[in-house]
Structures are given as structure tokens and as C-alpha cells.
Amino acid sequence: MHEAMFYKRIEGEESAVQCFLCNHHCRIEDGRRGLCRVRENQGGTLCSLVYGRLIAENVDPIEKKPLFHFLPASYSYSISTVGCNFHCRHCQNYDISQYPSRHNNEIIGKHRTPREIVESAAQQGCASISYTYVEPTIFMEFALDTARLAAEQGIRNVFVSNGYTTPEATRAIAPFLDANNIDLKAFTDKFYREVCGARLQPVLDTITLMKELGVWVEVTTLIIPGWNDSDAELEEIANFIKSLDSNIPWHVSRFHPTYKMTDRPATPTSSIKRAREIGLAAGLKHVYTGNLLDPEGESTYCSTCGKRLITRTGFSAEVVNLEAGVCRNCHTALAGIYK
């Protein structure tokens, strides 16, 4: 077992601890686990049960994260453990994110070291390592050790996150983190409480702090019919993002029924395109459609001259009018990371 970070013993109690890794701030009795099901109190010591226990390792296009303004057309070595601190009713990766809760707290995964991950990423020609598929915060200790070593080797680091990380944990990982695609799932506490088992404000705070700490941030919203697809709510999300930086890319993606949310249809294509229009009308410079074939909505355009800079179809990307992050036509810099 690996001792966890971000916890303290509760004064006046023999072995209870409180975890400060994410904003649930779980109070954990001896022999019990936090909501993520992968951090366990063992006699007053909080332990990570998933340190180096990887359930998934894949080479993915960076566009799959999705990250569209970060090393386009490159590959990312993607890793994950089991477990998650959210319990989203529509989770597409519920087979691994909810594995412990669905299998009597069992922890599975292949034992790997940070050095092995970095070496594998280098051997596969990956420009980055992505901590993804489930909420990477829950395997923060392993992610942090791996990211630190990757940075030393010139390999970039990426989180794909639900944004529920505490400020303490955010500040610890940020110096080694190059990019973070954060889900802003909705703009109401009702959604976060009933669909995810969480709250909205900590997510807004994390997006803001990641941006302040210099991490390249992109935001994704899965548009779910009847839950978060009203024009008013989409405008609120767009306005929040713009209040931080109009250059932050916003990905508006199509929902497909899955897991415990099969009571509603897939999002109409028209709703996704409408969400993109709302984002652009609010002043965001880059709004992308996801989970549907839409070359116009997936491609990147210069915000000054309108020239297409990157052409995308699905997870394929071709840089066509961009050189070193600058539009070849009008020489406007495109916000993001391109080296």
C-alpha cells in the first residue's frame, strides 16, 4: 500500500482521518474508504489502493481527450486506474470508474512504475501522457510521481478531469501539468447533486485556479436533453468561460444514453450546433462540436481573418494554415501550446 497525500488525522479521535484530495473532504473511519472507493484508512494512515495499479494503457490522439489547442495531431500515452470521486449516472466509462463499488470494493490493475510509464510513452513516440478515463485526482500520488519524471524527460502531462480537485492538490500538480480538459457538466447544483453526487462551485473554482496557475485549460460540456440544454444555461456556461478568457476552447458534445441514464434520447444534432452558436455569440473564439461528424464545428479557424487553421474529422487532425502557433494568412497567434 502507498500512503496517500492530502489528509490529516482528526484531533480527539484515535484513528479517524479527513481527506483533502478532492472537495468531498471525506471523513474516513479506520478500515473504511472514501467516496472514491480507492483511498482507505488503515489504522489512522490513509492509503492509496491504486498506486501503480493501472486498468488501462492506450496510445490516443490528443484530439480524443479532447484537446484541440494542445500539440494538434500528436499522440498521448493514456493511463487510468479504477475508481472515481463522482458517480455520474451517464458515465461512459462506468465499467472502470465504478468498478470497486460494483465489485465489493475489489481493486484490480496491472502493477506499473512511473518510470515504466514514461519509458513506454517515449517508446511509442507520444508527446504527452494523459491521466484520463476516470477522474485522475483519485490516483494523484501516482500521477504526480509520473508527471514529475515525464517533465524531466521532456514529455508533457495532461489531465482530463471533472474539476473537483481541492486547491491544495491543484497547486501540487499544476507545476507539472501542461494542459487540463475540465468537464463543466452543467451550471446548476441540481445537476451536480442528482446526476454526479457533487456540487457546482468547486468545479468553477478549479477551472479558475488552473487558469491562474498557467495550465492550458479547455472545457467540455456534454449536452443532455432535458438536463442542461436550455439556451439560458448554455449562455451561463459560455459567459463564465468568457469571464476567464475568451480564448478558452469550449467543447459541446453529444450525449448518448448509457449506464443509468437511458431514459432520454441522444442529443439532437441541432442542439449541439445551437450550443456552438450560443458560445460564439457570447464572445468565445473557439467552440467545438463533439461526438458527431461535423467538420466545420470540429475545425479551428483564425479568430481574426477566419482562415481554417486545423482541419478535423473525428479524432484525425491536419494542420493546414498554422505555423508555430501563428496563422499563416494574417499572422495572428492562436492561443494554446504548439511546441
Q: Percent of the chain beyond pLDDT 90?
A: 98
Question: Are 68 and 137 within one domain?
Answer: yes
pLDDT 10s digits, 103-143 = 999 999 999 999 999 999 999 999 999 999 999 999 999 99
Query: CA–CA separation, 250 vs 286, rounded Å?
Result: 7
Of 294, 312, 334, the residue at which a domain comes to its end is: 294
Distance CA 4, CA 81 (A): 15
What range does the domain containing 255 cover?
Answer: 53-294
Asked if 251 and 218 touch (Cβ cutoff 8 Å), the reply is yes
pTM: 0.97
Examine the domain organization and report whether 150 and 17 are in the same domain. no
Which DSSP letter does residue 79 get?
E
Q: What is the pLDDT of residue 174?
A: 98
Alpha helices by DSSP H, 82-113? 94-97, 99-102
Q: Of 200, 269, 198, 193, which is closest to residue 233 (Cα–Cα)? A: 200
Statement to judge: residues 130 and 180 lie in one domain = yes
Task: Write out pLDDT tens, residues 190-249.
Answer: 999 999 999 999 999 999 999 999 999 999 999 999 999 999 999 999 999 999 999 999
**Does residue 92 form part of some domain?**
yes
Dig out the grid coordinates for 154 from the structure.
521532456
CB 158 within 8 A of CB 179: yes
Query: Is residue 98 included in any domain, yes or no?
Result: yes
pLDDT value at position 39?
A: 98
With a cut of 90, say whether residue 11 has pLDDT above it.
no
End residue of a domain, out of 262, 279, 294: 294
* Residue 29: per-residue pLDDT: 96
The pLDDT of residue 299 is 98
Is 90 exceeded by the pLDDT of residue 172? yes
Query: Can you tell me the distance from the alpha carbon of 9 to that of 91, in angstroms, rounded to the nearest whole number?
Result: 33
Q: Are residues 13 and 146 in the same domain?
A: no
At 276-319, the pLDDT tens digits run 999 999 999 999 999 999 999 999 999 999 999 999 998 999 99
| Count of domains for the chain | 2
pLDDT at residue number 13: 82
CATH at residue 272: 3.20.20.70
Task: Give me the phi and psi of 180, to 5 degrees please.
Answer: -150, 115
Cα 265 to Cα 138: distance, rounded to the nearest angstrom: 31
User: What is the four-CA torsion angle of 59, 257, 230, 88, rounded to 10 degrees?
Assistant: -70
Of 254, 269, 294, which one is at a domain's C-terminal end?
294
Residue 300 forms part of a structural domain: no
Task: Decide if 323 is inside a domain.
Answer: no
Claim to verify: residue 16 and residue 62 sit in the same structural domain: no
**Residue of 293, 328, 312 lying closest to 68 (CA atoms):** 312
Q: 339 pLDDT exceeds 90? A: no
Average pLDDT estimate for 20-45: 97
Cell of 337: 501550446
Q: Based on the domain organization, do 157 and 247 belong to the same domain?
A: yes
Q: Which residue has the higher pLDDT, 259 or 314?
A: 259
- Are 178 and 247 in a shared domain? yes
Rounded mean pLDDT, 86-100: 98
Q: Is residue 177 in some structural domain?
A: yes
Do residues 19 and 35 lie in contact, with contact meaning Cβ atoms separated by under 8 Å? no
* 44 domain residue, yes or no: yes
Domain match, 30 and 78 both: no
What value does the mean pLDDT of the chain take?
Answer: 97
> Looking at the structure, do residues 38 and 149 belong to the same domain, yes or no?
no
19 and 144 assigned to the same domain: no
pLDDT of residue 12: 81
Residue 230 inside a domain? The answer is: yes
Q: Taking the CA atoms of the chain, what radius of gyration do you get in angstroms?
A: 20
Model pLDDT, residue 245: 98
Element (H, E) at 171: helix 167-173
In a domain, 277, yes or no: yes
248: alpha, beta or left? (left if phi > 0; alpha if psi -120 to 50): beta
Q: Distance between CA 90 and CA 195 in Å, rounded?
A: 8
Query: Do 103 and 15 reside in the same domain of the chain?
Result: no
Instruction: Please report the DSSP string for 229-275 in residue order.
Output: --HHHHHHHHHHHHHH-TTS-EEEEE---BTTB-SSPPPPHHHHHHH
Is the domain of 57 the same as that of 44?
Answer: no
Distance of alpha carbon 187 from alpha carbon 297, whole angstroms: 23
